[in-house]
Amino acid sequence: MRTQVGIVGAGPAGLMLSHLLHLSGIESIIIEDRSREYCENRIRAGLMEHWVAQMLIETGVGERLKREAMVHDGIFLAFNNEAHKLDFAKLIDKHVYIYDQKEVVTDLIAHRLKQGGQIRFEVEGTSVHDFAGNGGKPTIRFKHQGKAQEIECDFIAGCDGFHGVSRPSLPVGSWQGYDRVYPFGWLGILSESPPPEKELIYAYHERGFALFSMRGAELSRLYLQVAPDEDIEQWSDDRVWDELTTRLQGVRPLKRGKVLQKGITPMRSYVTEPMQYGRLFLAGDSAHIVPPTGAKGMNLAMADVRVLARAFEAFFRKHDTAGLETYSATALRRVWKGQRFSWWMTQMLHRVHGGEYAGFDTKRQLAELDYVAGSEAASISLAENYAGLPID
């Protein structure tokens, strides 16, 4: 097979890239090791920045989003038994959208296939080759339905997530990883119950952080700060509900319901620099991951491919390589701001139990929350980062 851009991974980054390239008349083929059903049903992050929703709508894949997404004016910060609303609509005239990543993936897969786009699901043994210099032809090798296959392309886009093959294929010494692991994890549930508020509640509590999110009027997505090595077997549904209720005590009543799904999310920050080598470009989680407290994961992936699609367009239309040369630097400026914000939200809201400075840090966190909720300048700073920094 031959194509202009070979894309590894059918997540939001790979699919959106393929979609944007198609709109610019550029061909791509996506390969993905999971099944279509798996990609469409994996529950992931649910919060979308204002401009991402706009981009989906403007590029013709926002019909269902317009009908089904929940549009939020802001978020609540809860501490000292009180919930404080940060009203983004009032502060910065922006909204955020609740629309699960799996819905974005479902919409993009359907749209790409309808337009004749090529996606190969359930491939095995993917590897990327000959992307180093200008001599060779970048090649993606894999097995599909038991048969060895090869895609020859002008460029490879590695959109295959944190555990994918693309990042480890960058030559040793050509890149550096910046890592930060946090001393806690999130235990998340999806439940058949009404969320306690119309919008999200980020709750600071002496027993640990809790987040009250949602997927619908009768569908809650709720998270608890737990130990990073927490054993999920120790958490019966009743124990999860008791702990969520405790951490929301005095703020809102919490209705219980059937738990549909339960899992633990690791908390880690990671950045690859640069996000490119030769004609292999990384985008999304293959290059960087954030702790979920800032709700940035999918949004940063979308920002990467927006920059990358424009760079490819300039190359194929005008042989202009400037955008490709600056892709990594341009993407990383936004990535690091997303990292900074995600780290900041995480350190403000999570309890560190024990240690020399635990007492001081608790008081300092409460002062920070009080400051953010009480100062218009600080509220705006949170709002503009949360709802999405401007795109150029």
327 is an active site residue: no
Q: Closest distance between ligand PHB and the C-beta of residue 44, in Å?
A: 7
- Note whether 293 and 338 are within 8 A (CB): no
386 is an active site residue: yes
Catalytic site residue from 182, 202, 223, 327? 202
**Any contact of residue 46 with ligand PHB (CB under 6 A)?**
yes
243 Cβ partners below 8 Å, 6+ apart? 207, 210, 224
Residue among 383, 392, 365 at smallest CA distance from 79: 365
Angle subtended by helix axes 322-349 and 358-374, to nearest 10: 110
Among 138, 284, 292, 388, binds ligand PHB (CB under 6 A): 292
Between 186 and 277, whose beta carbon lies closer to ligand PHB?
186
Mark 58-97 with x for binding to ligand PHB (rule: CB under 6 A) and - for no binding.
----------------------------------------
- Note whether 50 and 65 are within 8 A (CB): no
Stretch that binds ligand PHB, among 43-51, 226-234, 331-339, 369-377 (CB under 6 A): 43-51
Q: How far apart are the first and last CA of the chain?
A: 35
Separation between Cα atoms, residue 369 and residue 84, nearest integer Å? 10
Q: Is 43 exposed, middle or buried (0-12, 13-18, 19+ CB in 10 A)?
A: middle
**Any contact of residue 275 with ligand PHB (CB under 6 A)?**
no
**Footprint on residues 216-235 left by ligand PHB (CB under 6 A):** 221
The 8 Å CB, 24+ separation contacts for 135-140 are: 138/6, 138/278, 138/279, 138/280, 140/6, 140/8, 140/31
Stretch that binds ligand PHB, among 103-111, 272-280, 287-295, 365-373 (CB under 6 A): 287-295
How many residues make contact with ligand PHB (CB under 6 A)? 10
3-state secondary structure of 277: strand
Among 3, 191, 193, 213, binds ligand PHB (CB under 6 A): 213
Among 8, 20, 45, 349, binds ligand PHB (CB under 6 A): 45
Concatenating the DSSP letter of every residue in 278-294 gives TTEEE-GGGTEE--GGG
Mark 311-350 with x for binding to ligand PHB (rule: CB under 6 A) and - for no binding.
----------------------------------------
Q: Closest distance between ligand PHB and the C-beta of residue 70, in Å?
A: 10
319 is an active site residue: no
Which positions lie near ligand PHB, rule CB under 6 A?
A: 45-47, 200, 211, 213, 221, 292-293, 295
- Which residues are catalytic, by number? 72, 202, 292, 296, 386
